[in-house]
Every structure is written in C-alpha cells, then in structure tokens.
Amino acid sequence: MTPKDFEYFVPSSVNEAISLLSKYGDEAKALAGGQSLLLLMKLRLAEPKYLVDLKKIQGLSYIKEDSEVLSIGAMTRHADIESSDIIARKWPILFDTAKAIGHTQIRNRGTIGGSLCHADPSADWLPAMLVQDAEFIVSGKDGTRSVNAHEFFIGAFSTVLNSQELMTEIRIPSPKNGTVGSYLKLSMGPGDFAIVSVAIQMTFGDDDICQDVALALGGVNEMPFRSAEAEDALRGKHIDGNAVLAAAEGAFKSVSPISDLRASADYRKRMTRVFTKRAIEQALKRKKQ
C-alpha cells in the first residue's frame, strides 16, 4: 500500500517545526528517522495530513559528556550511539541497546528520539532509559520542560507529549563508581522487536555489596516497567548465584504478558526468568573486567 496524500514541510529550526505543529495540531506528525512512522503510513494505520520532517534542523544530533550527565540529541542515530567511544567506555548498556536495534540500515536511519516518542512497548530504548533515570528535554510553543522517563511513557504508543511539542534532548546521569549494566533481548530473529527484554544497572560498594539496582523489563507488559521484586532480591546483597536466581524469579512473578504472533504469554513469562538471569550475569562479567 501507499500512504494517503499529505503536505510535506522541511523546517530549518526547532521553532519553525513547533510553529508548524501548532498550526496543524493533531493532523500533523513530526518525522525523525521515519523507520516507524512511514511504515504505519504505508499500512494506512497513520494518516497525517501534514508531515514535518526534522532532518534539516541543525544541532539535534550529538553525544556530549560532562562530569554529571551524558547529553544525546534527539536526532542522533542509533548507529552513532553504537560507534561512540564515550558510550562504549562509560555507558555499555547504551551500546548493548543500540546494537540490538534492527539491522544496520535501520540503525543508520533511525533516531533515538524518534524511537522514544513512538513508544512501542517492545522497542529497545525504553527499558534502558528507565533503569538510568533519564530525563527528556521537550520543546513547545511555551518553552522547554524536562520530563523523567518514568513519567514520559503513559501507555502503548503513548507519551506525555502533546501535538505541539518535540523532544530535543536525552540526558542521562553519569554512573557512579562501581556501576555496571547490560541490556539483553529475545526476539524472533536478528533485528526484530523484543519478545522479552531486560535492562539492568547495578552499583557496587568497596565491600562488593550491591548498593543500588534498577532492572526494567520490556515486551512483557503494556509498557516496559521496573521490577521491584527483582530489584529487592539484589539490593543490599552480595550477588552470588542464589541472589541471581532470586532476582530472576522475582522478574518472573512480576510480569503479566499477553499472547501474540511472536510468542505465547507462557513462553514470554518463562523467558523473562531466563533473560533476567543472563542480563545480570552479563553485567557481573563487566564488573570483573
């Protein structure tokens, strides 16, 4: 199928893009990398009358680090995150996530901001943002605001963004000393969406005790979420085999998946246990490196 007819705009600034979105309201859509929206348009599942392409707006693609935060422009492509030395050195969980997205062609075109705003429950970036307490900078006609990742996603394919706003930046706090993390997913094949995904970040003290932990699950509920049961099994503990198994069991108990074309609910639930264990073990291997 082909999309319905639409008017196409290519603004040169954030303000111009916001002006267009404000003018046309719910009948307009912002276009980032286009890897999700254009497919929906071809299937006639999305039928915007106006398309606002962000590709020529300068200053929305970057990776910057200071002493307290990592800043990523919303139009930064997945491949740029995957190939960043800064990311590989201090945020391996982001490297894991970027590498898990789609195929090379998808990573070369798709953007982190576009994926986050699309808010597919099985997408890769969402769990990784939750465990890192990310902040999203949102620009609109009334100025800018900061939204925590835990507040940004409000349902499947739904965020707090209104039709006149754009995400412009992602901010991730610098990890404390002794922090390790990982991201793993199960899918039907390379590049497919997650049947189950697990993001974990743990911080260890000098006594080798897990001082803090965040573990998020994707693909198994309406939206990715942090598993308090899994986290409680790890926080304040020396992480041995028993603690890892307890966390995996906690994750298993915390999910209520549905069945779909990719997997049954029972399979998703059982694989949640398996991939939670694997993600924790992968993070612990990095702790020893």
Supply the CATH number for residue 35's domain. 3.30.43.10
Same domain, 268 and 253: yes
Whether residues 208 and 110 fall in one domain: no
Q: Which has the higher per-residue pLDDT, 38 or 215?
A: 215
pLDDT given at position 145:
97
Examine the domain organization and report whether 214 and 136 are in the same domain.
no
Q: How far is C-alpha 197 from the chain's CA centre?
A: 11
Helices 241-254 and 265-288 pack at an angle, to 10 degrees, of 150
Based on the domain organization, do 123 and 67 belong to the same domain?
Answer: yes
Q: What are phi and psi of 222, to 5 degrees?
A: -60, -35
Same domain, 77 and 156: yes
Count of domains for the chain: 3
Confidence of residue 41 (pLDDT cuts 50, 70, 90): confident
Predicted local confidence at residue 74, as pLDDT: 98
Residue 205 lies inside a defined structural domain of this protein: yes
Whether 55 shows a pLDDT value over 90: the answer reads yes
Q: What is the CATH number of the domain that holds 138?
A: 3.30.465.10
Query: Which residue range(s) make up the domain with 159?
Result: 63-173
Same domain, 132 and 98: yes
Residue 58 lies in a domain: no
User: Does residue 289 sit within a domain?
Assistant: no
Distance, in Å, from the CA atom of 244 to the CA atom of 246, rounded to the nearest integer, reads: 5
Amino acid identity of residue 93, one-letter, is I
Among the three residues 136, 157, 173, which one is the final residue of a domain in this structure?
Answer: 173
Q: Mark whether 48 and 123 lie in a shared domain.
A: no
Residues 141 and 216 in one domain: no
Q: Is 41 a member of any domain? A: yes
* pLDDT for res 192: 83
Entry pTM:
0.94
The pLDDT value recorded for residue 183 is 97
Q: Do 143 and 212 belong to one domain?
A: no
What is the mean pLDDT of the segment spanning 63-71?
A: 93
What CA–CA distance (Å, rounded) separates 99 from 118? 19
Model pLDDT, residue 38: 84
List the structure tokens of 288. 């020893």
Beta bridge partners of 153: 159
Cα separation, 83 vs 94, in Å, equals 11
186 and 261 inside one domain? yes
Amino acid type, 106: I
Q: How far apart, in whole angstroms, are the C-alpha atoms of residue 141 and residue 162?
A: 11
Query: Which percentage of the chain shows pLDDT scores above 70?
Result: 100
pLDDT tens-digit series, residues 159-205? 999 989 999 999 999 999 999 999 999 998 877 889 999 999 999 99
- For the chain, helix (H) and strand (E) counts, in that order, are 12, 14
Residue with tokens 């986290």: 231
Give the per-residue pLDDT at 71.
98
Could you tell me if residue 140 is inside a domain? yes
Please, what is the average pLDDT of the chain? 94
**pLDDT tens-place string over residues 224-262:** 999 999 999 999 999 999 999 999 999 999 999 989 888
The domain that holds 272 is classified in CATH as 3.30.390.50
The identity of residue 8, as a single letter, is Y
**111 lies in the same domain as 80:** yes
Domain boundary among 173, 208, 239: 173
Of 155, 173, 191, the last residue of a domain is 173
Whether 45 maps to a domain, the answer reads: yes
pLDDT tens sequence across 79-133: 999 999 999 999 999 999 999 998 899 999 999 999 999 999 899 999 999 999 9
Q: Which residues of 100-120 are buried (b: 16+ CB within 10 A; e: fewer)?
A: bbbeeebbebbbbbbbbbbbb
Asked whether residue 29 is domain-assigned, the answer is yes
Say yes or no: 68 and 168 in one domain: yes
- Please answer whether residues 246 and 229 qualify as being in contact, where contact means their C-beta atoms are separated by less than 8 angstroms: no
Which residues partner with 197 through β-bridges? Answer: 185, 218
Q: Which of 96, 23, 148, 100 is nearest to 285 (CA)?
A: 96
- Tell whether 2 is covered by a domain: no
